[in-house]
């Protein structure tokens, strides 16, 4: 079976900084592949290598069976790239931007209208407006439209939902699902863990390395440690004290609670609660609320990060 994107042990350094330290992945047709990780994890470098904008320092990668170094000229017409920053011409109107990029790819809006119709119809009322005067959500739709205008086989979206309101984010993911149905391979990066479950498969990236590549469901299912959420009136001394407890593997602030992972996988929820409440009472916390919870992707990310550091 041929993969749309095959990446083998890609490395990239910027001087002494290792941005990517050997990354491998496979992406198939009709798949949304998420690269999930914080800023500075190497997401953008990976995208820029795969879209032939920069050269890797090691490893190899193929897009549609074409080598990203040797056959870069053949890759450019078949990939769509939407950079993290809005990078269309702000002083050109919506339709001028679309026409311009269509022409550079030797095509027209009409020719590929079926692919972009759904997105274009939303920005069409503003087609005479300058791109710089659009709202954040509209800009993002225009950028997606321009990235799709030449009917690419693989779509690279670098943090497409950063700085976009929750409603637009939801709409955006809906659009990605529709594009996937048309057979596109979509590689999307995001720092938002809640978007991970919207992908078919995800790679958790940290410090230029993939911690794990799996379906989000499987990543959650693989989490086999007891997990608890703890709340008290004084949260920051609580965090410090919990980390002192020898049975605790890791503890992180998570919204208004702290999530605690215990080392012993055999402990059930009652035993765990018991253990934590006695330990915390001994350390002077009397108003502690402890609940056992189901892990989400962020818990898995934090856990894997702890294992790897």
Partner 1 sequence: MIKYLIEKEFKQLWRNKFIISLIIILPCLVMLVFPWTTTMEIKNLNITVVDYDRSPVSAQLLNKLSSTEYFNFTGLASNYSEALQHIESGRSDIVLEIPASFETDLTNSRSSSIMIAANAVNETKANLGTSYLTAILADFASQFGGEVPVNISVESSYRFNSTMDYKIPMIPSLIVLIITLIVGFLPSMNIVIEKENGTIEQINVTPVPKYSFILGKLIPYWIIGVVVLTLSLVVSYLMYSLPPQGSLILLYGISIFYILGISALGLIISNYSTIMQQAMFTIFFVIIIFILMSGILTPISSMPQWAQSIASVNPLTYFSEIMRMIYLKGSSFPDLIPYIKPLFVFFVFIITWAILSYKKRG
> Residues interacting with partner 1, by CB under 8 A?
51-55, 72-73, 76-77, 79, 81, 83, 85-92, 96, 100-101, 103-106, 146
Dmax (CA) for the chain in angstroms is 72
Nearer to partner 1, 68 or 304 (CB): 68
**Minimum CB distance to partner 1, residue 82 (Å):** 9
Which is closer to partner 1, CB of 105 or CB of 254?
105
CB 303 → partner 1: shortest distance, Å?
Answer: 35
| C-beta of 51 vs 112, nearer to partner 1 | 51
Judged by beta carbon, residue 29 or residue 57, the one nearer partner 1 is 57
Report in angstroms how near the CB of residue 50 gets to partner 1 at its nearest: 11
What is the closest distance, in whole angstroms, from the C-beta atom of residue 242 to partner 1 in the complex?
43
DSSP string, the chain: ---SEEEEEEEEEETTEEEEEEEEEEE-TT-EEEEE--TTSSHHHHHHHHTTSS--SEEEEEETTEETTTTHHHHGGGEEEE-SS--S-TTSBHHHHHHHHHHHTT--TTTTHHHHHHHHHHHGGGTTSBGGGS-HHHHHHHHHHHHHTT--SEEEEESTTTT--HHHHHHHHHHHHHHHHTT-EEEEEES-GGGGGGSSEEEEEETTEEEEEE-HHHHHHT--S-EEEEE-SSHHHHHHHHHH-TTEEEEEEETTEEEEEES-TT--HHHHHHHHHHHHHHTT--S-EEEE----HHHHHHHHHHHH-
Count CB-CB contacts under 10 A for residue 75: 23
Taking the complex as a whole, the smallest distance from the CB of residue 69 to partner 1 amounts, in Å, to 9
Euclidean distance between CA atoms 93 and 97, whole angstroms: 6
Question: To the nearest whole angstrom, how small is the minimum distance from the Cβ of residue 68 to partner 1?
Answer: 10
- Shortest distance in whole angstroms from residue 211 CB to partner 1: 27
Q: Which is nearer to partner 1, 160 or 295 (CB)?
A: 160
Q: Are strands 154-158 and 79-82 parallel, antiparallel or unpaired?
A: parallel
Our CB check for partner 1 shows the closer of 150 and 180 to be 150
To partner 1, the closest distance from the beta carbon of 191 in angstroms equals 19
Nearer to partner 1, 143 or 304 (CB): 143
User: Is 92 or 249 the residue whose CB approaches partner 1 more closely?
Assistant: 92
Task: Quickly count: other Cβ atoms within 10 Å of residue 263's Cβ.
Answer: 13
């Amino acid at each position: 079976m041929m993969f749309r994107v095959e990446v083998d042990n890609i490395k990239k350094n910027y001087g002494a900084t290792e941005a990517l330290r050997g990354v491998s992945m496979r992406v198939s047709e009709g798949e949304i592949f998420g690269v999930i990780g914080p800023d500075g994890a190497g997401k953008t470098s990976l995208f820029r290598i795969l879209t032939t904008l920069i050269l890797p320092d090691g490893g190899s990668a193929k897009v549609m069976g074409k080598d990203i170094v040797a056959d870069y000229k053949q890759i450019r017409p078949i990939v769509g790239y939407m950079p993290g920053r809005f990078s269309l011409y702000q002083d050109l109107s919506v339709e001028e931007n679309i026409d311009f990029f269509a022409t550079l790819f030797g095509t027209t809006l009409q020719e590929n209208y079926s692919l972009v119709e759904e997105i274009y119809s939303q920005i069409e009322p503003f087609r005479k407006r300058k791109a710089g005067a659009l709202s954040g959500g509209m800009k993002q739709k225009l950028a997606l439209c321009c990235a799709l205008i030449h009917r690419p086989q693989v779509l690279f979206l670098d943090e497409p939902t950063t700085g976009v309101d929750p409603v637009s984010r939801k709409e955006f993911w809906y659009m990605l699902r529709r594009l996937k149905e048309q057979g596109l391979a979509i590689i999307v990066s995001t720092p938002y863990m809640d978007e991970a479950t919207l992908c078919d498969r995800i790679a958790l990236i940290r410090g230029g390395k993939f911690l794990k590549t799996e379906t989000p469901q499987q990543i959650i299912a693989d989490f086999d440690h007891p997990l608890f959420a703890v709340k008290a009136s004084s949260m920051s001394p609580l965090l410090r004290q919990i980390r002192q407890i020898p049975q605790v593997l890791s503890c992180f602030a998570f919204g208004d609670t702290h999530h605690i992972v215990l080392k012993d996988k055999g402990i059930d929820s009652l035993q765990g609660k018991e253990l934590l409440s006695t330990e915390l009472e001994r350390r002077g916390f009397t108003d502690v609320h402890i609940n056992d919870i189901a892990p989400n992707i962020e818990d898995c990310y934090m856990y894997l990060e702890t294992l790897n550091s």
